[in-house]
Structure 1
Amino acid sequence: MNVFVARQPIFDKRKKLYAYELLFRTGTTNAFPDIDGTTANTSLLSSTFFTVGIDEIAAGKLAFINFTEELIAKGIPQLFPPEKLMVEILEDVEPGSAVVNACRLLKEKGYSLALDDFVYSRQFDELLHLSDIIKIDFRLTSPEKIKEMVGTLKQFDCQLLAEKIETYEEFEAALALGFEYFQGYFFAKPEVLQNRDLSTSQLTMLQLLSEINSADSEFDVEALEKLVSQDISITYKLLKYINSSHFSRIKTISSVAQAISYLGERGFRMFVSLIATSMLAENKPGELVRASIIRARLLELIAIECRQDSNEMFLLGLFSFIDAMLDQPLATILKKMPLSANINTALSEKSGDLYPFLRLVEAYEQGNWVPFRFALKKIGLNEEKMTDFYLEAIAWADSFE
Structure 2
Amino acid sequence: MNVHITRQPVFDIHKNLFAYQLLYNKTVACSPPDQSNDRITARLLSTSFLTEDIEKITGSKPCFINFTTNLLVKEIAQAFPKQKMIIDIPNISSPDPEVLAACYSLSQNGYILAIDDFVHSEEALPLVALVNIIKINWQRSTPEQIQQMRQQLAGLHLKYLAQNIEEHQEFEQAGRLGFNYFQGYFFARPEPLQLTEVAPSKANLLRLLAEVNSPNITTSRLEEIIATDVVLTFKLLRYINSAFFYLLKEVESVRQAITYLGEEKIQRFVTLVLISELAESKPRELMRLSIVRARFCELIAGQCPQDVSASELFLLGLFSLIDAIVDIPMVQAMEKLPLSGAIKDVLILGQGAYQPFLEIVAAYERGNWQRCLAAGKELEVDCTKLPRLYLEAIQFAGTIV
Give the TM interval when normalised to the shorter protein. Answer: over 0.9
Contact 2:298 2:311 in 1 (8 A): yes
Deviates more, 1:60-69 or 1:39-48: 39-48
Q: Distance in 2 between matches of 1:289 and 1:223?
A: 25
- Per-residue CA deviation, residues 12-61 of structure 1 (Å, 9 max, x unaligned), is 111111111111111137x9942222222122222222222222222231
Q: Distance in 2 between matches of 1:212 and 1:227?
A: 9
Q: Given the alignment of the two structures, is residue 289 of structure 1 paired with residue 287 of structure 2, yes or no?
A: yes
Q: Distance in 1 between matches of 2:325 and 2:16?
A: 16
Match of 1:57 in 2: 57
Q: Secondary structure at the match of 2:311?
A: helix
Q: Distance in 1 between matches of 2:50 and 2:221?
A: 49
Amino acid at match of 1:217: N
Q: Distance in 1 between matches of 2:41 and 2:93?
A: 14
In the TM superposition, what are the counterparts of 1:233-248 in structure 2 within 5 Å? 233-244=231-242, 246-247=244-245, 248=247
Match of 1:197 in 2: 197
- Structure 1 residue runs of 5 or longer lacking an equivalent are none
1:213 Cα deviation after fit: 1.7
- Per-residue CA deviation, residues 134-185 of structure 1 (Å, 9 max, x unaligned), is 0000011122211211222221111000100111111111111111111000
Residues 375/92 of structure 1: CA separation in 2 closer, same or farther (3 Å cut): farther
Q: TM-score when scaled to structure 1? A: 0.94
Match of 1:167 in 2: 167
Question: What is the Cα-based RMSD across aligned positions, in Å?
Answer: 1.9
Match of 1:374 in 2: 374
Residues 50/123 of structure 1: CA separation in 2 closer, same or farther (3 Å cut): same
Amino acid at match of 2:235: K
- Structure 2 residue runs of 5 or longer lacking an equivalent are none
Contact 2:359 2:372 in 1 (8 A): yes
Q: Distance in 2 between matches of 1:79 and 1:305?
A: 37
1:390 Cα deviation after fit: 0.3
Question: Percent identity of the aligned residues?
Answer: 44
Amino acid at match of 1:299: C
| Match 1:303 to one of 301, 304, 307 | 301
Residues 326/124 of structure 1: CA separation in 2 closer, same or farther (3 Å cut): same
Q: Distance in 2 between matches of 1:354 and 1:153?
A: 49
Q: TM-score when scaled to structure 2? A: 0.94
Match of 2:318 in 1: 318
Amino acid at match of 2:295: R
Q: Secondary structure at the match of 1:201?
A: helix
Q: Distance in 2 between matches of 1:296 and 1:94?
A: 45
Contact 2:205 2:274 in 1 (8 A): yes
Q: Given the alignment of the two structures, is residue 41 of structure 1 paired with residue 44 of structure 2, yes or no?
A: no
Deviates more, 1:46-55 or 1:238-247: 238-247
Match of 2:149 in 1: 149
Amino acid at match of 1:265: E
Q: Secondary structure at the match of 1:282?
A: coil
Q: Distance in 2 between matches of 1:164 and 1:251?
A: 46
Q: Distance in 1 between matches of 2:371 and 2:186?
A: 21
Q: Distance in 2 between matches of 1:374 and 1:244?
A: 37
Contact 2:143 2:177 in 1 (8 A): no
Residues 74/149 of structure 1: CA separation in 2 closer, same or farther (3 Å cut): same
- Per-residue CA deviation, residues 284-323 of structure 1 (Å, 9 max, x unaligned), is 0000000000010111111122152011000000001100
1:245 Cα deviation after fit: 5.1
- Per-residue CA deviation, residues 313-350 of structure 1 (Å, 9 max, x unaligned), is 00000001100001101101100101101100111111
Match of 2:400 in 1: 400
Match of 1:352 in 2: 352
In the TM superposition, what are the counterparts of 1:102-181 in structure 2 within 5 Å? 102-181=102-181
Q: Distance in 2 between matches of 1:271 and 1:171?
A: 33
Q: Secondary structure at the match of 2:352?
A: coil
Q: Given the alignment of the two structures, is residue 342 of structure 1 paired with residue 342 of structure 2, yes or no?
A: yes
Contact 1:9 1:21 in 2 (8 A): yes
Amino acid at match of 2:158: C
Q: Distance in 2 between matches of 1:273 and 1:32?
A: 44
Q: Distance in 1 between matches of 2:224 and 2:323?
A: 28
* Equivalenced residues, count: 397
Contact 2:187 2:286 in 1 (8 A): yes
Q: Given the alignment of the two structures, is residue 268 of structure 1 paired with residue 258 of structure 2, yes or no?
A: no
1:98 Cα deviation after fit: 1.1
Deviates more, 1:192-201 or 1:13-22: 192-201
Match of 2:224 in 1: 226
1:127 Cα deviation after fit: 1.2
Q: Distance in 2 between matches of 1:263 and 1:328?
A: 33
Deviates more, 1:96-105 or 1:36-45: 36-45
Match of 1:186 in 2: 186
Deviates more, 1:197-206 or 1:11-20: 197-206
Q: Distance in 2 between matches of 1:186 and 1:251?
A: 41
1:122 Cα deviation after fit: 1.1
Contact 1:303 1:313 in 2 (8 A): yes
Contact 1:222 1:257 in 2 (8 A): no
Contact 1:150 1:177 in 2 (8 A): no
Deviates more, 1:228-237 or 1:387-396: 228-237
1:79 Cα deviation after fit: 1.6
Contact 2:89 2:113 in 1 (8 A): yes
Q: Distance in 2 between matches of 1:71 and 1:251?
A: 49
Q: Distance in 2 between matches of 1:250 and 1:358?
A: 38
Q: Given the alignment of the two structures, is residue 384 of structure 1 paired with residue 393 of structure 2, yes or no?
A: no
